[in-house]
Amino acid sequence: MAGVAPRRGRLALGLGAAAVLLTAAPPFLSAYPLTLLTQALIYAIFAMSLDILLGYTGLPSLGHAAYFGTAAYTVAILATEFRAGFWTCLVAALAAAVLAGALFAPLAIRATGTYFLMITLALGMVVWGLAFRWVSVTKGDNGISGLERPALGPLSFAGDTAFYYLTLAVFAGAAACLVLVVRSPFGMSLMGIRESEARMRSLGYNVWLHKYLAFVLAAAFGGLAGVLWAYYNGFVSPVEMQLVTSVEALLMVALGGSGTLVGPALGAGLIVFLKNFVSLYTKRWLLILGGVYICVILFAPGGIIGALRGVGALRGWGALRRWRRPGARAR
Amino acid sequence: MEFWVLQSFNGLSYGALLFLLASGLSLIFGVMRIVNLAHGSYFLLGGYVGLSVVWRTGSFPLALLAGGLAIALVGVAMERLFLQRLHGQVLGQVLMTMGFALIFQDLALLIWGGDPYSLPAPAWLVGSLRAGALVFPVYRLFVIAVAVAIAVALWLFLERTRAGAVIRAAVDDEEMARGVGINVARVSMGVFGLGAFLAALGGVVGGAFIGVYPGSDFEILPYAFVVVIVGGLGSLQGAIVGSLLVGLLDNFGKALFPELSYFTLFAPMAVILALKPTGLFGRA
């Protein structure tokens, strides 16, 4: 473990620099890059929440957009139909996402690997189907529009800069919570389950309960991202829940590096910028995005973080092992 | 009464179309444990290739053949060049097939444009049969006939031929199959080609029935997955029963509870999963 201390130091330095940059950036950015940055932060929360399942517990969910979308729809419906305020929307939306997660988890965590993937895909489709067809509540394919950005007492978050800072604050809070979770004994147990479920069970850990809690926790933070998204976009549609969104979140995690929190956040940022910039210059951006999927898997299976660790030359046995066996955890 | 007969008939014919997709998807899953998100793309591309062939030659049978074979080649190439090296990497495979699905979607848009088309059916399949007050479109009967023929052919192939036995061995226990000298890599490639062929065939057949249009790939993919999940992964019987069930559920759901139609389709699936995680005919 000789290399851990310098790496942690460098990580802290990097994070500090990122925090300063993110806080100081708005005055130097024009409107468009700023909204992209907001979007990137929202997706970063989403991708980190997915990584609790995928990277830390070893459960590849193909339906994570369900919780993002459930929360986003809850906000949209409450805010437009019932004129509910920010806190009501936030609490109700998180409760809805947690409820969805708590209901779906028992079905999903009976399985592992590909079967887990299939079941979460199917459950995601249940929610998407409701959003798409339950027109009297969700307005179906048209989506719900006319969502206004929130105000907290005297503070209005209607402006892009103000909303950016709100997003940044929520992002920082969420990231801090998730770091605490993965560093806690609970987080360690999750990683133990990822590495060997049978061993954890024979050591007396309640594997089912750990997976269940990880699932619900991931749903909750996915929902938090959905709340921000609903306010950011001002419009919610079934697109937010579709399979492509769930897979995109997986790509963000894989691109950044699963089993870390920094990785998915980086991956989310990269994908958001790539999608937006490429679509500015060419209509063929789906072609390019498809190519990105394939290249990430072929050339950077450990993601950016994995590649950095590789470049950093065999630093730390755990990092090396994780880098060498990118697929091992997902099985 | 009329309502029930006609809706059942419509459900059956849609189920028949789904079977063409789902049988291949299920076989692919059975042998390779891959969640192939590009399977809907084979359906889409098959439809477009068939469309071009019909435009050029006017021959519907030729369109079926050309669409099926061209996409089978695409499937084989995809498996051979890309997926085979990701053996056992669940996440990698999913993302890889997603990448291909996006590329195929965009290529189709680039080549055939964004307009929806309907593949012209040959004259002998146009029109309808009357039985009292009931009217059955001939084309839908044809779709059902094609699915039955494919199901019988697949069954004979899997149960009665040596190649079929090899595939079943690879589905049941891959390691054991390797152990007795079966070249599982080659089996995977063949099964992938077969699955792509069937899905593309479905695309051509479906082109004269639900149309050929951008987005049909991701529209039909969930249905195919539901069939496979309900029926059980890797099981032909499961694909047959699952297709019928999904076709009927979807049709009656849309007719009776339009607002909850996807829910009436997906919720029974969730119940089946809760009771039997491997699906109706699947083995763990």
CB atoms B266 and A126 under 8 Å = yes
Write down the pLDDT at residue A311: 59
Average pLDDT over residues A181-206: 89
Contacts of B266 in chain A (CB under 8 A): 122, 125-126, 129
Residues in chain B: 284
- Looking at chain A, the whole-number percentage of residues with pLDDT higher than 90 is 34
- Among A233-242, B134-143, B259-268, the minimum mean pLDDT is found in B259-268
Q: A329 pLDDT band (50/70/90 cuts)?
A: very low
Band (pLDDT 50/70/90 cuts) for residue B102 is very high
In this prediction the ipTM stands at 0.84
Report the pLDDT value the prediction gives residue A68, as an integer from 0 to 100. Answer: 95
**Cβ within 8 Å, pair B99-A293:** yes
For residues A299 and A291, give the distance between their C-alpha atoms in angstroms, rounded to a whole number.
12
Say yes or no for a CB contact (<8 Å) between A327 and B91: yes
Structure confidence at residue A327 (pLDDT): 45
Per-residue pLDDT at A278 exceeds 80? yes
A131 domain-assigned: yes
| Nearest residue on chain B to A251, alpha-carbon basis | B95
Nearest-neighbour CA in chain A from B244: distance (Å): 18
Q: Which of A193-197, A212-216, B270-274 has the lowest mean pLDDT?
A: B270-274
- Per-residue pLDDT, B267: 80
Identify which of B239, B219, B179 has the alpha carbon closest to the alpha carbon of residue B28.
B239
What is the spatial distance between Cα B112 and Cα A10, in angstroms, rounded to a whole number?
A: 51
Task: Answer yes or no: is A201 within a domain.
Answer: yes
Residue with the bigger pLDDT between A148 and B69: it is: B69
Mean pLDDT, chain B, as a whole number?
88
Beta bridge partners of residue A189, listed in sequence order: none
- Answer yes or no: do B92 and A330 touch at CB < 8 A: yes
Is A158 domain-assigned?
Answer: yes
Q: Are B76 and B54 in contact (CB under 8 A)?
A: no
Predicted confidence (pLDDT) at residue A330 exceeds the cutoff of 60: no
| Interface list for A 155-214 with B (CB within 8 A) | none
- pLDDT reading at A117 higher than 80: yes
Give the structural domain span for B128.
10-214
Using an 8 Å Cβ cutoff, are A216 and A101 in contact? Answer: yes
Specify the DSSP class assigned to residue B234.
T
Q: How many other C-beta atoms lie within 10 A of the C-beta of residue B176?
A: 11
Which chain A residues contact residue B259 at CB under 8 A? 133-136
For every residue of A23-34, DSSP letters joined together read: HH-GGGS-HHHH
Q: Please report the pLDDT score of residue A7 as a whole number.
A: 65
- B106 found inside a domain: yes
Closest Cβ–Cβ partner in B91, B221, B269 for A254 = B91
Task: Name A182's Cβ contacts closer than 8 Å, sequence gap at least 6.
Answer: A52, A56, A190, A191, A261
**DSSP annotation of B116:** -
Instruction: Report residue A108's pLDDT band, with 50, 70 and 90 as the boundaries.
Output: confident
- In sequence order, what DSSP letters do the residues of A132-180 get, joined into one string? HH-HHHH-GGG-EE-PPPPEETTEE--SHHHHHHHHHHHHHHHHHHHHH
Structure confidence by residue, pLDDT tens digits, A254-273: 898 888 888 899 999 999 99
Classify residue A47: in a domain, yes or no.
yes
* Chain A residues 67-106 with a CB less than 8 Å from chain B: 106
Share of chain B above pLDDT 70, in %: 99
Q: Which domain holds residue A112?
A: 29-243
Beta bridge partners of A155: A152
End-to-end CA separation in angstroms for chain A: 27
**Optimal mutation site among B33, B79, B86, B95, interface A, most CBs of chain A within 10 A:** B95
Q: At what angle do helices A31-51 and A160-183 cross, to 10 degrees?
A: 20
Strands of chain B, DSSP E? 128-131, 134-137
In a domain, A117, yes or no: yes
What's the confidence (pLDDT) of residue B157? 93
Q: How far is CA A329 from each of CA A21, A248, A252, B83, B136, rounded to the nearest angstrom? A: 33, 19, 17, 18, 52
Domain count, chain A: 1
Question: A76-85, A221-230, B214-223, B258-267: which has the minimum mean pLDDT?
Answer: B258-267
**A191 assigned to some structural domain:** yes
Per-residue pLDDT reduced to its tens digit, B173-224: 888 888 888 888 888 899 999 999 999 999 999 998 888 999 888 889 888 9
Across the interface, do A115 and B92 touch by the CB < 8 Å criterion? no
Mutate which of A248, A250, A294 to disrupt the B interface (most B C-beta within 10 Å)? A294
Q: pLDDT (tens digit, 9 = 90+) per residue, B213-222?
A: 998 888 898 8
Q: Which residues of B touch A132 (CB under 8 A)?
A: 262
- Is the pLDDT assigned to residue A27 strictly greater than 80? no
Number of structural domains, chain B? Answer: 1
- How far apart (Å, rounded) are the C-alpha atoms in residues B98 and B121? 32
Please tell me which of the candidates B94, B229, B273 has its beta carbon nearest to residue A250: B94
